[in-house]
Structure 1
Amino acid sequence: MAPKDIMTNSHAKSILNTMNSLRKSQTLCDVTLRVNLKDFPAHRIVLAACSDYFCAMFTNELSEKGKPYVDIQGLTSSTMEILLDFVYTETVHVTVENVQELLPAACLLQLKGVKQACCDFLESQLDPSNCLGIRDFAETHNCLDLMQAAEVYSQKHFPEVVQHEEFMLLHQEEVEKLIHCDEIQINSEEPVFEAVINWVKHNKNEREKSLPQLLQYVRMPLLTPRYITDVIDAEPLIRCSLQCRDLVDEAKKFHLRPELRSQMQGPRTRVRLGANEVLLVIGGFGSQQSPIDIVEKYDPKTQEWSFLPVSVIVAFAMKW
């Protein structure tokens, strides 16, 4: 029989368990990490194998290379204990209480597994009240996947997100970026207009001057004439600004002069990709010139076509 290499599944885990036992008994430890006056005995080779930070520290000509004690700045002793447990056990306990300290520490010590665990945990905690804060936190620590997930969540839940304090505390540039986005999922532009007005009123004295700039990202021509005349026209902040009134007049013109709509096409007349709108294809003739009695639907969100019941044709005809 030909020789065969056999891989076991327990070897690596057994080594980790043994090294962790040696660490806890302070056996064969050749370096002590000192964090806030607390000492953590460890093995250089284990730290270097798990962390590029420690690998560079112990293999290059740095001052810490041969020192028995190494001071670690920028994290707490409790966080260091969690990180060391991960190094020796490949397990990390992430909680709401420790994740904000754990993630920056993992980035500092270049512990990719802990960083990923923190990102996965934060993604699982996303809700309308915290997604904007998590997005900024992820951006600060270069967690691109988490930042993207939080961004998409804020777009998907826009009407709920703008009701919370995190939105009200955004800087103007951040509000602009959010309301300018095509991917916001809304049934109409009403939540966008109301979000802008509420954000301005949250600190009216300082933010009122920003209203014309923000309002240009609200797609007012897509609002109903009733909403424009009954709500927007009645808003005192709008009535006091000539620039805002010009944008309102543009929306009214879009409704009052349908023949001019082709000339008015632009960012404010473009339906958002996240809007709950679909394209219906009704009627026509088949390959044998026979009438087609089916309805096809295209969903821009999923980019998929599907068939609808014939009853949709009747309902559509009765509506129009």
Structure 2
Amino acid sequence: MGGIMAPKDIMTNTHAKSILNSMNSLRKSNTLCDVTLRVEQKDFPAHRIVLAACSDYFCAMFTSELSEKGKPYVDIQGLTASTMEILLDFVYTETVHVTVENVQELLPAACLLQLKGVKQACCEFLESQLDPSNCLGIRDFAETHNCVDLMQAAEVFSQKHFPEVVQHEEFILLSQGEVEKLIKCDEIQVDSEEPVFEAVINWVKHAKKEREESLPNLLQYVRMPLLTPRYITDVIDAEVSSIDGKYCSTYMFISFDL
């Protein structure tokens, strides 16, 4: 070979994956494992360094002065054994199996153990599952677990599909404040204001005795100028009166004032 060849760093792109595969094989044969995670009476042998490298939760556990630092067994609360198995598989393979059946357990567990990859995978899965029948529930679920992008996606979906969303049980079971927030939003997409009025009436009728006092407050968010005079006289008057006559006069004041 003639000439002088300059040194060169060569990246093989196979090393990291090969190491993960080897460590996963070692885990499954309980070789070189230095900690056992105990979940619901089931033991999961693992390697501290692998857990700490993937999770801030385990990193803090094994590098701080917490009591678990030197223990050979660590009890993990707040998740099921089947969920722990899925999470450990992710840690060692970078692959997570998300399904409709497991996502509601998997996402909170991923948040607990601070496994960002699993959390992201769950959020992407739930976003792909958005439907008029579940978007309000997914929005609340996302808010509970601080999944901002998923929460915003569900919010936009509920606004875009408002007429279909209000036909489902999730809408009927909302609190008054949540109904108000949805119907007064300027981003809801409707061909007319009729579905907004009908959504309010159906929500009140579902639990008439408890909800009829909410009617005047909710009806003030129905944009009356967008409704036809015929709809007001033929539909609205009859619907409001059928719920409770004493609220009819309140609503007519609101409507004509607008």
Q: Residue in 1 aligned with 2:59?
A: 55
Question: Which residue of 40, 46, 51 corresponds with 1:42?
Answer: 46
**Matches of 1:247 and 1:20 in 2, distance apart?**
67
**Matches of 2:181 and 2:168 in 1, distance apart?**
17
Q: What does 1:270-309 align with in structure 2 at a 5 Å threshold?
A: none
**Matched residue SS, 1:188:** coil
Q: Residue in 2 aligned with 1:14?
A: 18
Matched, 1:102 2:106: yes
Q: What does 1:113-262 align with in structure 2 at a 5 Å threshold?
A: 113-235=117-239, 236=241, 237=243, 239-241=245-247, 242-251=249-258
Output the amino acid matched with 2:51. Answer: L
Deviations 1:123-171 (A, max 9, x none): 1111000000000110110011100000000000000000000000000
Following superposition, the deviation at residue 239 of structure 1 comes to 4.5
Following superposition, the deviation at residue 97 of structure 1 comes to 0.5
Q: Counting helix residues as a fraction of each chain, which structure ranks higher? A: 2
Matched, 1:82 2:89: no
**Matches of 1:67 and 1:233 in 2, distance apart?**
71
Following superposition, the deviation at residue 244 of structure 1 comes to 1.1
Cα gap change, 1:167 to 1:147, in 2 (>3 Å): same
Contact 1:23 1:42 in 2 (8 A): yes
**Matches of 1:9 and 1:239 in 2, distance apart?**
74
**Matched residue SS, 1:9:** coil
Matched, 1:93 2:100: no
Following superposition, the deviation at residue 231 of structure 1 comes to 1.0
**Matched residue SS, 2:222:** coil
Question: Which residue of 108, 112, 116 corresponds with 1:112?
Answer: 116
Output the amino acid matched with 2:246. Answer: C
Query: 5+ residue gaps in structure 1?
Result: 252-320
**Matches of 1:57 and 1:100 in 2, distance apart?**
25
Contact 1:33 1:42 in 2 (8 A): yes
Cα gap change, 1:187 to 1:238, in 2 (>3 Å): farther
Q: CA RMSD in A?
A: 1.0
**Matches of 2:192 and 2:13 in 1, distance apart?**
55
Query: 5+ residue gaps in structure 2?
Result: none
**Matches of 2:161 and 2:61 in 1, distance apart?**
45
Following superposition, the deviation at residue 250 of structure 1 comes to 2.3
Tell me the percent identity.
Answer: 86
Following superposition, the deviation at residue 228 of structure 1 comes to 1.1
Following superposition, the deviation at residue 240 of structure 1 comes to 2.9
**Matches of 2:35 and 2:179 in 1, distance apart?**
49
Contact 1:216 1:247 in 2 (8 A): yes
**Matches of 1:217 and 1:83 in 2, distance apart?**
46
**Matched residue SS, 1:61:** coil
**Matched residue SS, 1:137:** helix
TM score, norm. by length of structure 1: 0.77
Output the amino acid matched with 2:134. Answer: N
TM score, norm. by length of structure 2: 0.95
* Higher Rg: 1
Following superposition, the deviation at residue 5 of structure 1 comes to 1.4
**Matched residue SS, 1:73:** coil
Following superposition, the deviation at residue 220 of structure 1 comes to 1.0
**Matches of 1:3 and 1:215 in 2, distance apart?**
76
